[in-house]
C-alpha cells in the first residue's frame, strides 16, 4: 500500500517588528480626528478595523493612528478613551513575493511585512502625467515629504487605451530619492513593466516636517512633527528600477 505524503500548507511570512509602531484592532466604534485640522476629514474607525498605532506620538492622552486604506496613508487622532478599544494584534503577512495588489491591500500595515529592508516586486508604470489640485504641502526633506513628484505604481496594465484609468488590482504611491529619476511623466519609462526594489521606514523620515496650504489661500497649518514623521515612515521609497522586457 502506498501512502501519499501530505503536502505542507504554505505559511505566511513572519512579520517584522517595527520600533514605535504596532498593529491594533478596534473593539468598538471609534471617532477619529483629522491629523491636519481644518483640511478634510478622516473616516471614523468601526469595530473590527485594523489601525497602525504610532507609539511615540507626542500628544498626551491621544493616539496617533493610520487606518488600513488602499493606495495611501491617512492619519488621525484617537481620543483618550479610544486607547481602551485598541487591542494589539499580530500582523499577518501574505506568503510569496510582494506585488502591487498585496501592497495596496496591506496599506499602512505593509511596513510590518517588510520592515526597513529592501524588497523587490513587479509593477506597471502608466504613461500618463499630472496631479490633482486641492492641498499643497511644503515639506522637508523635499524628495520624501514635499512637492517633488512621486510615482504611482500599478498592479497591471490599465485596461483599454486610457492610461489614466487605474486598474482594479490596486496601486501604490512611492517616493524617489534625489539620485533616481522615474516618474509617470517620463515617456521612456511609462507604459511598461518594471522590476522595482523599494523599502519603508526610510532614515530620512525623522527629519520630515510639513506645512499644509489650501490653494485658495484660506488657511495654513503647520503639521504636528509626529504626524509628519509617521507619514514618512509609512511611505514606500524606491531604491532602484529595472525595465522588464516585453514577452
Distance CA 196, CA 240 (A): 6
DSSP 30: B
Give the mean pLDDT of the chain: 82
Question: What does the chain come to in residues?
Answer: 247
Burial class (CB in 10 A: 0-12, 13-18, 19+), 219: exposed
Per-residue pLDDT band for 157 (boundaries 50, 70, 90) equals low
Per-residue pLDDT band for 4 (boundaries 50, 70, 90) equals very low
Residue 170 C-beta-side C-alpha neighbours within 13 Å: 15
Domain boundaries, the chain: 21-88, 100-243
183-239 pLDDT per residue, tens: 777 878 888 899 999 999 999 999 999 888 766 656 777 888 999 999 999 999 999
- Per-residue pLDDT at 201: 97
Per-residue pLDDT band for 158 (boundaries 50, 70, 90) equals low
Per-residue pLDDT band for 43 (boundaries 50, 70, 90) equals confident
- Per-residue pLDDT at 16: 84
Pick the CATH number of 21-88 from 2.30.30.40, 3.30.200.20, 3.90.700.10, 1.20.1090.10: 2.30.30.40
Amino acid at each position: 500500500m502506498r501512502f501519499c505524503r501530505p503536502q505542507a500548507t504554505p505559511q505566511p511570512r513572519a512579520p517584522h517588528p517595527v520600533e514605535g509602531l504596532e498593529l491594533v484592532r478596534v473593539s468598538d466604534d471609534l471617532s477619529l480626528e483629522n491629523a491636519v485640522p481644518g483640511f478634510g476629514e478622516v473616516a471614523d474607525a468601526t469595530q473590527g478595523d485594523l489601525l497602525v498605532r504610532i507609539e511615540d506620538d507626542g500628544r498626551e492622552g491621544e493616539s496617533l493612528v493610520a487606518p488600513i486604506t488602499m493606495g495611501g496613508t491617512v492619519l488621525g487622532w484617537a481620543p483618550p478613551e479610544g486607547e481602551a478599544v485598541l487591542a494589539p494584534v499580530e500582523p499577518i503577512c501574505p506568503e510569496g513575493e510582494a506585488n502591487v495588489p498585496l501592497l495596496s491591500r496591506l496599506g499602512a500595515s505593509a511596513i510590518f511585512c517588510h520592515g526597513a529592508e529592501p524588497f523587490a516586486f513587479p509593477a506597471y508604470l502608466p504613461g500618463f502625467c499630472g496631479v490633482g489640485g486641492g492641498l499643497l504641502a511644503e515639506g522637508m526633506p523635499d524628495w520624501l515629504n514635499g512637492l517633488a513628484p512621486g510615482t504611482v505604481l500599478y498592479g497591471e496594465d490599465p485596461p483599454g487605451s486610457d492610461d489614466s484609468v487605474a486598474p482594479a488590482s490596486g496601486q501604490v504611491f512611492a517616493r524617489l530619492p534625489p539620485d533616481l529619476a522615474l516618474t509617470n511623466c517620463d515617456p521612456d519609462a511609462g507604459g511598461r513593466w518594471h522590476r522595482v526594489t523599494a523599502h519603508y521606514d526610510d532614515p530620512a523620515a525623522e527629519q520630515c516636517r510639513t506645512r499644509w496650504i489650501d490653494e485658495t489661500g484660506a488657511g495654513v497649518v503647520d503639521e504636528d512633527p509626529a504626524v509628519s514623521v509617521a507619514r514618512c515612515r509609512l511611505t514606500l521609497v524606491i531604491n532602484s528600477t529595472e525595465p522588464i522586457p516585453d514577452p
